[in-house]
């Protein structure tokens, strides 16, 4: 359940044995039966740093036999966007956008060597790819815009500020400069 208008909090039910992986500083409240642990794996930490994420992640594990809850909030004023990977499929996220994940969510490094999409979408050269069938929680500051890249009609072609892209599905994108100097 997500509460709040601008500075949001997501309350997640954690089943027995289930784990939430989140950014340091995003846990707001939790059941007393949640165990907190820090993951500082050097190999994963290096990939996280390259993609603009913190090198350490916090694991919140329900070690009880009953369901528990955890309240999470972004480290900056932002909306929380839940992405159900089972429904949406794989996607690429901008550095700093992935706040938390629960269930089967695999994080991998994703490289983009195309200078047009690398520079003009502000996603950068090294970003994070997510796959699986769990749920990822994205922290998105500003106003959200959903666009369907499968629809190629003129009404579905959008222009946006290059720094506003938070995540995109794994499709082919191109960038065109708008306006004049």
Low-confidence stretches of the chain (pLDDT beneath 70): 42-52, 110, 117-125, 142-181
Give me the domains of the chain, ranges plus CATH numbers. Answer: 2-142+153-169 (3.60.160.10)
- Please state, in angstroms and rounded to a whole number, the distance separating the CA atoms of residues 43 and 31: 31
- Global pTM? 0.73
The DSSP annotation for 10-46 comes to: EEEEE-TT-EEEE-TT-EEEE-TTEEEEEE--HHHHH
Q: List, for residues 89-103, the tens digit of each pLDDT value.
A: 887 777 778 889 999
């Amino acid at each position: 359940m997500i509460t709040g208008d601008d500075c949001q909090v997501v309350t997640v039910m954690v089943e027995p044995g289930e784990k939430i992986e989140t950014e340091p500083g995003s846990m707001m409240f939790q059941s007393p039966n949640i165990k907190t642990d820090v993951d500082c794996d050097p190999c994963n930490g290096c990939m996280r740093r390259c993609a603009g994420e913190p090198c350490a992640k916090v694991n919140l594990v329900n070690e009880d036999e009953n369901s528990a809850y955890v309240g999470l909030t972004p480290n900056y004023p932002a909306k929380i966007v839940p992405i159900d990977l089972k429904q949406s499929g794989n996607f690429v996220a901008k550095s700093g956008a992935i706040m938390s994940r629960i269930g089967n969510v695999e994080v991998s490094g994703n490289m983009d060597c195309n200078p047009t999409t690398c520079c003009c979408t502000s996603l950068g050269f090294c970003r994070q790819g997510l796959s699986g069938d769990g749920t990822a929680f994205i922290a998105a500051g500003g106003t959200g815009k959903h666009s369907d890249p499968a629809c190629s009609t003129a009404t579905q072609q959008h222009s946006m500020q290059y720094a506003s892209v938070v995540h995109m599905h794994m499709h082919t994108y191109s960038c065109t400069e708008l306006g004049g100097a």
